[in-house]
Amino acid sequence: MSNLKTVALGVSLALASIGALANDASTPRVDARQVKQEKRIEQGVSSGQLTGKETARLEKQQDHIAAVEAKAKADGSVTAAERRHLTRAQNHSSASIHHQKHDAQTAASAPAKR
């Protein structure tokens, strides 16, 4: 009987720790992906693939994702729904970066401001 109690206690502790991890406030994947996307934008600027206007729009998307992440972390835990929202926002931003870097506009072809 004592062995059964030990197993039940172990299972309960394991489930509790899984639940705590699921609602953890850390978002290392989101953070790592943000860094990668910022580097992609910087590379697009330095190569001339992105115009100033495109860069500003992409940076605004990155700022929005950072704000959503901060709001999700504000209560001390990031729920599964909040993580999905962040992932969707990052997917959208990634597609935008790709599109803007591969469209016909380049920094050299952008009209000069007067």
The domain spans of the chain are 26-101
Q: What is the pLDDT along the chain (114 residues), one digit of tens a residue?
A: 556 666 565 656 555 555 545 557 899 999 999 999 999 999 999 999 999 999 999 999 999 999 999 999 999 999 999 999 999 999 999 999 999 999 988 888 766 555
Helix %, strand %, coil % of the chain (to 5) = 75, 0, 25
Secondary structure (3-state) at 79:
coil
Contact 44, 97 (CB under 8 A): yes
* CB-based contacts of 76, cutoff 8 Å, min separation 6: 25
What's this model's pTM, rounded to 2 decimal places? 0.73
Cα 4 to chain center, whole Å? 43
pLDDT value, residue 106:
87
